[in-house]
Amino acid sequence: MISDQLKTAILGALKLDDWELTESTIAAEVPGWDSLSHVNVMLAVEKHFGIRFKSVEVLRLTNVGELQRLVNSKLTKQS
């Protein structure tokens, strides 16, 4: 389940008003989310949640569901 907060962070970085994001959504399916914007999306997610990713963690991600789980694990470690 993709949280509204994550959706807001991603769509905000891509300057999209709306787009359906599911667990299995990959970057190529979302307009404007390509390798050129990928880091900006990740930085926006970091800023939104107040967390920090390691490069290796982000490079391993294959879909939005995995990003959600990574965010959840970071938030759990922080609390």
Partner 1 sequence: MELTFTSIGFIVFLVVCLGFIHASGKLSVRTWLLIIFSYLFYLTFGIGGALVVTFTAVADFIVGHRLGNTIREVTRKRWLWVGLAANLGPLVFFKYSGFFVEIIATFLHPLGVHLSSPAHPVVSIIGLSYFTFAGISYVVDIYWEATPPARNFSEFFCYLVYFPKLIAGPIVRASDFLPQFSQGFKIKAQDFETGCGYLLFGAVKKLVIADQLASHVGLIMAAPQHFSAWTLVQGMIGYGVQIYADFSGYSDMAIGCARLMGIKFPQNFLMPYSSVNIAEFWRRWHVTMSYWFRDYVFLPLEFGSRGVRSVNVRASRNIVITMILCGLWHGPSWNFVAWGGLHGVALAAYQIYAAARPRHSSKEIRSALHLGTVGARVLTLSVVMVGWVFFGTSTLAMAVVYLWRMLTWAGDGVGLGSAFILPITALVFLVHLLVAKDRNLVEDLPSYSVSARVFTYGCLLLALTSLVPSDAVPFVYVRF
Residue 25 φ/ψ, nearest 5 degrees: -65, 135
**Minimum distance of partner 1 from residue 40's CB (angstroms):** 6
Q: Which of 73, 22, 21 is nearest to 49 (CA)?
A: 73
19 binding partner 1? (CB under 8 A): yes
| Contacting partner 1 within 23-62 (CB under 8 A) | 28, 31-32, 34-40, 42-43, 55-56, 58-60
Which residue's CB is nearer to partner 1, number 47 or number 72? 47
C-alpha torsion angle, residues 10, 13, 14, 17 (rounded to 10): 70
Q: How many C-beta atoms lie closer than 10 Å to residue 21's C-beta?
A: 21
Q: Which residues bind partner 1 (CB under 8 A)?
A: 15-19, 28, 31-32, 34-40, 42-43, 55-56, 58-60
